[in-house]
Amino acid sequence: RDSKLTRILQPSLSGNARMAVICCATPSDLYIEETRSTLQFASRAKLVKTSAKVNERIDDRTLIKRLQKELEVMRQKLSGTDSVATTNHSNELIPIDQSNEEVRKLKAIIRNDTLKCEEKKS
């Protein structure tokens, strides 16, 4: 909703903080519409779900160590992909040479189908 209240509350509604809303109502007949509107807002506001989490402060050295560990894990995973087998769509191990051959065949089929479609258009 594009209202002033929404814009004011937007940083708090971003999900990184706990939030409490206090609504004031009056029993006076003079302000019955405002009270009704406030209660409707309160009903909608209680449906908003946020998940607060603690912000983590990391110094530069810790961040560098964490990134170096992540880089090492990625290198290990990458070196593991140079093995003699890979998996297909049904998770069966197949030799990489066979997999590359299947890719070449599929590319040739796509190329032929593309040419046929272009010939039909012209």
Predicted confidence (pLDDT) per residue in 78-90, tens digit: 777 544 455 555 5
Q: Are residues 65 and 115 in the same domain?
A: yes
Number of domains forming the structure of the chain: 2
Structural domain contains residue 92: yes
Question: Is the domain of 64 the same as that of 117?
Answer: yes
3-class secondary structure for the chain? Answer: CCCHHHHHHCCHHHCCCCCCCCCCCCCCHHHHHHHHHHHHHHHHHCCCCCCCCCCCCCCHHHHHHHHHHHHHHHHHHHHHCCCCEEECCCCCEEEHHHHHHHHHHHHHHHHHHHHHHHHHHC
| Residue 34 sits in the same domain as residue 65 | no
Residue numbers of the chain with a pLDDT score lower than 50:
82-84
**What pLDDT, on the 0 to 100 scale, is given for residue 56?**
73
The answer to whether residue 81 sits within a structural domain is yes
The pLDDT value given to residue 15: 62
**pLDDT score at 58:** 78
66 and 116 inside one domain: yes
Q: Which domain holds residue 78?
A: 60-121
| Residue 38 shares a structural domain with residue 78 | no
